Amino acid sequence: MSAPALLVENLSFAYGKGAPALDRVSFEAPEGCFTALLGPNGAGKTTLLALVTRLFSGRGRIVVCGFDLAREPLSALACMGVVFQRPTLDLDISVERNLAYAAGLYGLDRARARARIDAVLARLGIADRRHVKVRALSGGLRRRVELARALLHEPRLLVLDEPTVGLDIESRRALVEHVHDLCREHGIAALWATHLVDEVWPEDRLVVLHRGRVVARGSLREVLARAGESDLARAFRRLTEDAPVAEPVS
């Protein structure tokens, strides 16, 4: 069995001297698999992704595609594409110029950058918008551009922090489908943070986070069994209800 694209072991973090935002979090994101990091607002999802993308440092171990993030950060980060919760595109330049700038940061030469830009725009169905300023795009199309940017350097792991926030139902559905297709067709691993159970598909892996702790993880069947429910929405409510949280899943 191949090593996971992402391995998180006993990860803890606190803001200043406050209570832990994350407490001994452990899970894996397998290659070629969509892993949903499911938790209510305030569960610690964004903090966790900030640690995985090395915006913060905490206690514990993070391994990306076999590279220890603390010891080999450049190699680990080179394997990763990120879509942040807050939009980070330059609104006043074109889609193509946003991607060309990112390609330069990834170290792609001009010919390779042009080929990758063509490929990702075609893959996401936005090749006809390449010369349009980002400001003129809908929220759903802007998210596609951010996903295209994350895919430029052909990462093995995609990390997405609540990427559908603010999108309409159809744009949400399309983005969820795009990322599932990438996992299935290209073997990319995705770690998708969300609080919406309808973004989880039956074949996905699940990590349920509540108050900074993993309260369930595994296949949908395993998570339902842990909660004692037959429906994910009810299981999610039960696992994250306002009751004392059990010890983290080991």
pLDDT in tens, 42-64: 999 999 999 999 999 899 999 99
Q: Which among 126, 154, 182 is the end of a domain?
A: 154
Q: Has residue 165 been placed in a domain? A: yes
The 157-161 sheet, strands edge to edge: 80-83, 157-161, 189-194, 34-38, 205-210, 213-219
Answer yes or no: do 69 and 188 share one domain: yes
pLDDT tens for 77-118 read 999 999 998 889 999 999 999 999 999 999 999 999 999 999
Answer yes or no: do 74 and 169 share one domain: yes
Enter the DSSP assignment of 83: E
Domains contained in the chain, number: 2
Is 50 exceeded by the pLDDT of residue 74? yes
Residue-wise over 54-81: b if at least 16 C-beta within 10 A, else e?
eeeebebebbbbebebeeeeeebbbbbb
* Amino acid, single-letter form, for residue 115: A
Answer yes or no: do 166 and 63 share one domain: yes
What is the pTM assigned to this prediction? 0.92
Answer yes or no: do 66 and 125 share one domain: no
Q: Has residue 84 been placed in a domain? A: no
Answer yes or no: do 17 and 50 share one domain: yes
Answer yes or no: do 74 and 165 share one domain: yes
Domain that holds residue 116: 89-154
Q: How many CB atoms lie within 10 A of CB 162?
A: 21
pLDDT tens for 166-180 read 899 999 999 999 999
The 20-29 sheet, strands edge to edge: 20-29, 6-14, 59-64, 67-68
Q: How many CB atoms lie within 10 A of CB 109?
A: 10
